[in-house]
Homo-oligomer: A and B are copies of this chain.
Amino acid sequence: MKPTIARCEENVIHEEEVQAAQATLISGLEATYLSAVFQALSDPTRLRLISALSGGELCVCDLAAVLGMTQSAVSHQLRLLRNLQVVRHRKAGRIVYYALEDEHVRLLFQMGLEHIRHPKGDEAAGGAA
């Protein structure tokens, strides 16, 4: 980058910058793990579930009521979050209560929310609430 010769030579402008980037590049495995975390947070329904649970434990039917969705749709999403260990659950008879389990997902959620609610000066205006 910033080459004296603005020419992609063999599809690479400057071998040094490429190697420097590769040296610090996250690994394929890190990318896979990290993408799974963000993917958990990439669906509006799941975000709203996490938002509801951030106030404390709730059962499936209450979650369905809060979100205005069917029990089944909620259950499917909870299964996904459970498998990712974002949430934990406990049974009390027929009732199953869910709670947030993964603290760093909670932090990512809160940070993301804070940013869309209060964009900084250099932020794009895509997040005004």
Query: Bound complex: CA of A21 vs CA of B68, how far in Å?
Result: 12
Interface residues of A, count at CB 8 A: 79
Question: Oligomeric state, in number of copies?
Answer: 2
CB contact under 8 A between A112 and B38, given known A18-B65, A56-B1, A124-B101: yes
Contact of A122 among B43, B45, B62, B103 (CB under 8 A): B103
Tell me which residues across on chain B come within 8 A of A104, comparing CB atoms: 111-112, 115, 119-120, 123
Interface residues, chain A, with chain B CB atoms under 8 Å away: 1-2, 6, 8, 11-14, 17-18, 20-22, 24-39, 41-45, 47-48, 51-52, 54-59, 61-62, 64-67, 71, 84-85, 92-95, 97, 101-104, 107-109, 111-113, 115-117, 119-120, 122-124, 126-127, 129
